[in-house]
Amino acid sequence: MNSQPLLTYINKIVTLTEEEEAYFSSILKHRKYLKGQYILQQGDVSNTNCFIISGCVKMFYADHLGQEHIIMFGVENWWASDLGSFISQTASDFNVQCIEDTELIQITYNDLQTAYSKIPKLERFFRKIIEKAYVASQKRIVRNFSLSAKERYIVFKASYPEIEQRIPQYMVASYLGITKEFLSKIKSQIAVGK
């Protein structure tokens, strides 16, 4: 298994020795999922944290009517799991589903806890990742309360240009909390400069 993409990512934040890299690589799992497959389903416990090598996923909540509410997308060098479920080892509120064929590196909760004691700097690395995710989540909440749908779309397009090109427009609309028809209207307004 090639764990190099994850090791390269980790070494941008903390520096692992060759021995630490070898140990950490030994506890990782390599998985491939097909487009449409679920990595995690609502109600299950998230036992693995997943680093995306290639592909694209969405994390969403399905309400009692079966309506999808997309919380986030994930692409290469992003993490894909329900962090709350993973950290607390309780039932997930979310689904994580592949939008494209996706290749992942996974680490189980138990293996990660063991790795923390063997390589304490990994705890610092994952704390930094969780801090970053928390800040992004808080900013998204503020944007949803303070910006119009058009402004939210402009921020999304500017922040994640590579994602918008890879996903259907109805998913972008779900992420923004609007209908795909309203998103089309917004895009038309932007195209004509209104």
- Judge whether residue 193 has pLDDT over 80: no
Q: What is the mean pLDDT of the chain?
A: 93
Report pLDDT digits (tens) over 66-90: 899 999 999 999 999 999 999 999 9
Indicate the helix (H) or strand (E) that contains 142. helix 120-146
Q: How far apart are CA 163 and CA 147, in angstroms?
A: 21
Q: In one letter, which amino acid is 92?
A: S
Please report, rounded to a whole number, the percentage of residues in the chain having pLDDT higher than 90: 85
Number of continuous H segments (helices) and E segments (strands) in the chain: 9, 8
DSSP annotation of 69 reads E
Per-residue pLDDT band for 194 (boundaries 50, 70, 90) equals low
pLDDT of residue 189: 87
Residue with tokens 């941008």: 12
Q: How far apart are CA 88 and CA 130, in angstroms?
A: 13
Q: Are 108 and 50 in contact (CB under 8 A)?
A: no
- Judge whether residue 165 has pLDDT over 90: no
Q: How far apart are CA 102 and CA 35, in angstroms?
A: 7
Report pLDDT digits (tens) over 24-68: 999 999 999 999 999 999 999 999 999 999 999 999 999 999 899
- Tokens representing 22 are 């070898």
Domain boundaries, the chain: 4-120
Residue with tokens 């090598």: 53
Task: Specify the CATH number for 4-120; select among 2.40.430.10, 3.40.50.720, 2.60.120.10, 3.40.50.300.
Answer: 2.60.120.10
Averaged pLDDT, 137-144: 90
Averaged pLDDT, 142-169: 91
pLDDT of residue 1: 62
Please report, rounded to a whole number, the percentage of residues in the chain having pLDDT higher than 70: 99
